[in-house]
Amino acid sequence: MTNSSYMIELRDVTHAYKTKAGPLPVLDRLDMAVPENSFCAVVGPSGCGKSTLTRLVSGLMRPNTGEVWLHGKKVTSPRPTVGMAFQNPVLLEWRTILQNILLPMEIVKSPMSKAQATERAHHLLDLVGLTGFAEKRPSELSGGMRQRASLCRSIIHKPDVLILDEPFGALDAFTREDLWCTMHDLRREEPFTCLLITHDLRESVFLADQVVVMSGRPAHAQFVLDVDLPGPRTLDDLYGPRAVSMLATLRHQIQVAQGRATEGDAPADDHTERTRAQA
């Protein structure tokens, strides 16, 4: 049974990779639930299984045990209703930016006509600040611009869920912050459920409604922070006392996950009381 008010649900998910040296346990009884149209960021130590989690949610892989549900349906195969963007945008050089953005329309069944999809692509290009770049080739764009185009491509077919696996990780700090604001613009215009994998705690607090901290491998959801910043967020909010306190809590939880601190060493003014652990 699943609670269909959640867009993404993982229940008791355990997974190990088969390797020459034997099974490598990666996830251990992981539980997670992401409500529809909300934004969930996942942080955790390097190698704890964050990308593995995205493969399970997108249906590219099935867990050894436990269940993954998307919008009340059990995931058993790759799901076209999931859009994805990665650290490396991988745009096809022999196609224009517009043609790259329209690529998912050639793969995924959609009620949109070609004309409607093209109109939508131009609208998305406007939204992400790439007006006038539709006919350019990827090599004519900067890294940040390519990532903006990749974001347009990942939502052109109106996916139920957008999975972002460190999409801003390779960008310089200012471009990254610009793209965070673009993400807010996109979600204001067109709400969608988002699962973001990131190593950047500020990014998680600025973008997400909830931040899940994964434990060390084999990982479970060690800690969940509800980000309770009121109203439309601005970058200045990240320097206010609420965000700073949340960042201290997250940093501490990462240290716990890395085995460098214990729960008892929590920072004095932390957000533990407003959070729920999901162990």
Ligand X SMILES: Nc1ncnc2c1ncn2[C@@H]1O[C@H](COP(=O)(O)OP(=O)(O)OP(=O)(O)O)[C@@H](O)[C@H]1O
Give residues in contact with ligand X (CB under 6 A). 17, 19, 24, 26, 46-52
Give the span between the Cα atoms of 201 and 193, in whole angstroms. 19
Report the nearest approach of ligand X to the CB of residue 50 (Å).
4
If the CB atoms of residues 130 and 207 are measured against ligand X, the closer one turns out to be: 207
Report the nearest approach of ligand X to the CB of residue 68 (Å).
15
Give the β-pairing of 65-70 and 73-74: antiparallel
If the CB atoms of residues 124 and 161 are measured against ligand X, the closer one turns out to be: 161
Give the span between the Cα atoms of 276 and 68, in whole angstroms. 21
If the CB atoms of residues 58 and 182 are measured against ligand X, the closer one turns out to be: 58
If the CB atoms of residues 66 and 104 are measured against ligand X, the closer one turns out to be: 66
Report the nearest approach of ligand X to the CB of residue 44 (Å).
6
HEC letters along 168-181: CCCCCHHHHHHHHH
If the CB atoms of residues 24 and 277 are measured against ligand X, the closer one turns out to be: 24
Report the nearest approach of ligand X to the CB of residue 76 (Å).
19
Report the nearest approach of ligand X to the CB of residue 34 (Å).
18
214 in Cβ contact with 50 (< 8 Å): yes
If the CB atoms of residues 16 and 229 are measured against ligand X, the closer one turns out to be: 16
Report the nearest approach of ligand X to the CB of residue 39 (Å).
19
